[in-house]
Structure 1
Amino acid sequence: MAKEELSLEELAKEIYKGAGGMNNVESVTHCMTRVRMTVRDRSLVNDETLKKIPGVLGVVDDEQLQVIIGPGKVNKVAKEMADQAGVQLGETIAVHTSGKDAVNAKAAEVKAAQKARQKKSPIKAILKDISNIFVPMIPAFVGAGLVAGIASVLSNLVTAGNLDAATWQQYIDVLNILKNGLFTYLVIYTGVSAAQVFGATPTLGGVIGAVVTLTGMNPETPLTNLFTGQPLLAQQGGILGVIFAVWLLAQLEKWLHNVIPESVDIIVTPTLCLLVIGLAEIFLIMPLAGFISDSLVGAINWVVEVGGAFSGFVLGATFLPLVMFGLHQILTPIHVQMIDATGSTQLLPILAMAGAGQVGAALALWIRLRKDKELSEMIKGALPVGVLGIGEPLIYGVTLPLGKPFITACIGGGIGGAIIGAIGNIGAIAIGPSGAALIPLIAGGRWWGYVLGLLGGYAGGFVATYFFGIPKDKQAAVEESATTASEVTTNTAVTVAGTTELFAVAEGTVKPITESSDSVFSQKLMGDGFLVIPENGTIYSPVEGVVTSIFPTKHAIGLQTASGLEILLHMGVNTVELEGKPFDIKVTEGQKVTPSTVVAEVDLNAIKQAGKETDMLVIITNMDAVSEDVLEKTGTVGSAMPVMKVTTA
Structure 2
Amino acid sequence: MAGEDKYRSIGESIYDNVGGTQNVEKLINCMTRVRMTIRDESKVDVAGLKKIPGVLGVVQEDTLQVVLGPGVVSKVAQSMVDEVGVDLGAPFPEGAKAHTAKSGHDYKSAKEEVEAKAEQVHSAHKAALKQTWWRAALKHISSIFIPLIPAFVGAGLISGIAGVLGNLQTVGAIGAEWGTFILTMKVINQGLFAFLNVYIGINAAKEFGATQGLGGIIAGLIYLPGVVAPLALPNVFTGKDLVAGSGGVLGVLFAVWIMSYVERWFHKHIPDSLDIIIVPFLTLLVMGLFTIFLVMPAAGWVSNSLVGAINWVLNVGGAFSGFVLGLVFLPMVMLGLHQILTPIHLEMIKDLGMTPLLPILAMAGAGQVGAAIALWIRCRKNKQLTRMIKGALPVGILGVGEPLIYGVSLPLGRPFITACIGGGVGGAVVGAIGGIGATSIGPSGIALIPLIAGGFGKALGYVIGLLAAYLGGFVATYFFGTPKSAMVATAEDGTILEGAAAGTNAQDTSTPEELESEQEHTMAGLNTQTDTHTTVVTDMVAPVEGNLIQLGEVDDETFSQKLLGDGFAVNPEMQTVVAPVDGKIFTISDTKHAFTMISDSGLEVLVHLGIDTVELDGGPFSFSVKVGQHVLAGQQLGLMDLEKIREAGKKDTVITVVTNMDAVSSFGSYTNQHIEVGTKVLSVTGKEH
TM-score, structure 1 as length reference: 0.42
Higher relative contact order (CA 8 A, sep 6+): 1
